[in-house]
Chain A
Amino acid sequence: MVSSTIDHMVATVVFLGALLLFVGLFNQTIQTAILYQRHRYIATKCSDLLDNILLNPGYPLDWGTSNCTPTGFGIQDPEFTQYKLSPFSLMRLRSSTGELVYYPKTDSYYSNITMGYGFLLVPLTEAINYSAAARLLGINGTYGFQLTITPIITVSIKELQPKNPLILSVNVTGMGFPLANAAVSYCFLTVGEGGGGGPYPSYTMEYGTDFADETGSVLLNFPSVKTDVSYVLIVYAHLSGLVGVGYYEHATYEDNYVVPFIDNLEERRVLIAHSYDVHGGDSPAEIAYNASFVLLTEDFTLREMPMENSTGKVGKINYGEGKPYKNITIPTYNPGILIISYRKSAQETGVVLMPWGISAMAFPVTFGDDPFGREWVATDIRQVIVNNIAYQAKLALWSLQGYGVIG
């Protein structure tokens, strides 16, 4: 009798223990399956959301080239169909990588997509922030995202010999392969020495084309450069439909320079500020500047678009109180590059660039929240065109609603 009772008790305990163990094991499997299901859903959502952003120009259609706040979010170029993006809508996205820049003379902060001496500073009041975009996309509080638009072709330029002649090495690569035999067209701007432009810096522009070798490299010689001068080289490389942009600049004087801020997109107005007022520095001094604007033409060559003096193309800028910034008006809504040469004296010169539309200098854009540390991030990519420049758009998406699973 006692042994039977013990037998029953042992059997019951073992059975209950085994049952609990198996419930736990099955539960584990079910939980994993549910998580996989949710991850799959996020991946599908990611693909849909990416298409939604890229195949829709937003509302109003021209929000990229106006100062208005869109009521529908999308970055497709309103003049085209398919995956062609507006270089100006992209410019209005608040960069999540660059640090904000404060300019005391306008008492405003600027979204910063600056790369090297290629400035792109958009007033925060005109930049679309992440939460607004999430709200317009209908995912506020449910999903977080980061949208990255990166140029497919990288054109890197290195100075091999500084003068007599100046030799620059241009290297063109894609995402997984060098762009062998690519056609290379360039615009070479040198800032004149000796004050040939009167009180303002003079400049000369030289255009040319060449071809890359099997490794995607080409050497460009400029025999006209016999002394150390300030210059900028802008290169467009293209092969079989793929177009990429690169630039390189060299300044003989960098203590003081001009900083262009976009002031009003609708009126195409750019502020010319003194670097000391923005970044500080040593030995502040007055500098004179002379601006020009170049466009990429349909035959992949760069051409200067003349600017009237009335647009504010030349001027002098100083630092501190009582020395106001200057204005310049971009002559067109076609994407291009604003090239501003500056000088303190005949030998102390430099040059800065500002893309008008992000594609003109193949600037990348990172917009949205940081996916680092998120539990599951789904990504999807598309190849897109921004004013004929090949880019890759990548969306990272994650859930903000947690992953707790009750099994």
Chain B
Amino acid sequence: MMRTIEIFMVIIIITAAFIISSLFAVLPSPRQVSPLNLRRLALTTLQTLDVDHDLSETVFNESDNLAWGQLQIALSACLPPNIVYNLTAYEVSSASGTELYTSIKSISNAESLGIASDAGSYLVASSNVTFDVTPEKIGEHGGGGTLYVLNCSDANGWWITGYTAQSLAQDLYSLLSPYFQTTIMVQNTTQLGQMLDGTPLQNETLQNAVVINTFGEAVPIPSNYADTYNRDSYAEYCYQLGKKVHQYNWTWVSIVGYPLYYVSNTGYFTGPNDHNTWGIYGMKRVEPGGFNSFLRGLDDQTYSYNGGWITGSPGVVYLSSEALYYCNYYGIYPAPYHTATRALPSGITSIYNLNVTTYIFNPVGNWIAGAVYRHDDSGALLALGLTRTPDIRLTALGLLSDYKPRLYASEYTASGTSRLVILQLGQVGGV
């Protein structure tokens, strides 16, 4: 009998243990087990309401403005009926490095949001404020930082159909001058000769500069250089250009077509036969020998003439992934594909000790339609072997992709320009 009583006592103890453990083992309600992600719902609701910046405009209105009423209607309309909300807008002010949030308006459709609520926050900017972006200057943390844009009034261009070199120079100035410490428009061939001789035009740093030839397949030639370096239909002048690029560690930019195919000086080439055989006077044909000589100069080789044609026509070429990335970064959006008929062969990199540091277009086979080639020692070349007419946005994109100057956005939380909107959601009904 005693054993039975003991067993019953054991049963009572186990029962008590079960009841006590059951009290502690409280299972969550189904809503807690499988909850709506209210935080995400709040955020996406705020994003939806701001799709056309309506929310941004509303929260900068006075608190008695009708727009707040419309916002409340829209909130009630877009949330499911079992969701209650509280939307609060805060003024963001900053003082001595700390930010202060002051509540300016609150709208709600319930006194309480229940025991479980969650919130999403959204920072909006006033439509009256413009946020500046300040670019880092090329050469700011090293030598160089000078951009020369050839704008010579005494030269003609070729394969820039529809433009003049001067209009292209103006556009390039607008596009690129914010990124350089000094931008100089080289106004005539005399100034070009001066800089080739190593004399700064405006006390700028000559070394490590970028020189953009806006004349397409032609290049301006100073008179004294035309007198001195006229061998092989002025291929010797192109060799001198290559030497100077190497000497001063310049980046020479050819914006379209076959680089250095003609030389131009309207004050020097004045004879009846001084035209490029296509009716443009003040210009002489150098042909492929010009660019071959330039490459020899860039590689610091001795001068010798080579008139062999080296470019190819890979046809349609596409911007490289790197270029596409920098399109978004710098906000420059040329067409993503172009036609290349003067692409350079990849073999020039080994012949002339060049390294491709930036591909503007994806190579097609052995043809490179647009890239920046840097010499092992000094000097660089950006060549866009596209067919006419030029798109100077590609030139700007190529240079920026290679130099990669950073963009500094102005502080987003500047006083009075931002407001923080917090939408807190809760669920009612059900379990």
Residues of A within 8 A of B (CB): 3, 7-8, 10-11, 14-15, 18, 22, 25-26, 29, 32-33, 36, 39-40, 42-43, 46-47, 51, 82-83, 152-153, 173-181, 239-243, 376, 378-385, 388, 390, 392
Contacts and interface: CB of A to CB of B under 8 A. Distances in A.
B310 interface: no
Interface string B26-43: 011000011111001100
Most buried by A among B10, B14, B28, B78: B78
A179 B33 contact: no
B33 to A, nearest CB: 5
Contacts of A384: 44, 48
Which size bracket describes the interface of B in this complex? 35 or more
Contacts of B28: 36
Contact of A153 (B41, B54, B77): B77
A243 B51 CA distance: 9
Contacts of B11: 14-15, 18
B141 interface: no
A7 B1 contact: yes
A82 B21 CA distance: 46
Given A239-B73, A384-B44, 9 more contacts: A7-B3, A29-B22, A43-B33, A176-B79, A179-B73, A240-B49, A242-B78, A379-B36, A384-B48
Interface of B: 1-4, 6-8, 10-11, 14-15, 18, 21-22, 25, 27-28, 33-37, 40-41, 44-45, 47-52, 54-55, 58, 67, 70-71, 73-74, 76-81, 83
Nearest 3 A-B pairs (CB), nearest first? A174-B77, A11-B3, A240-B74
A383 B41 contact: yes
A128 to B, nearest CB: 24
Contact of A241 (B15, B27, B41, B54): B54
Contacts of A39: 33-34
Specify the main secondary structure of chain B where it touches its partner: helix
Contacts of A153: 77-78
B33 A175 contact: no
A281 B8 CA distance: 82
A381 B36 contact: yes
A242 B77 contact: yes
27 contacts: A7-B3, A8-B3, A10-B3, A11-B3, A11-B4, A18-B10, A22-B15, A25-B18, A174-B74, A174-B78, A176-B80, A176-B81, A177-B73, A178-B77, A179-B73, A179-B74, A180-B73, A239-B70, A240-B49, A240-B55, A241-B50, A241-B54, A241-B74, A380-B36, A381-B36, A383-B48, A383-B78
B25 A7 contact: no
Contacts of B37: 47, 380
B6 A175 contact: no
Contacts of A32: 27
Contact of B41 (A42, A173, A382): A382
A10 B33 contact: no
Given A36-B28, A152-B78, A240 B67 contact: yes
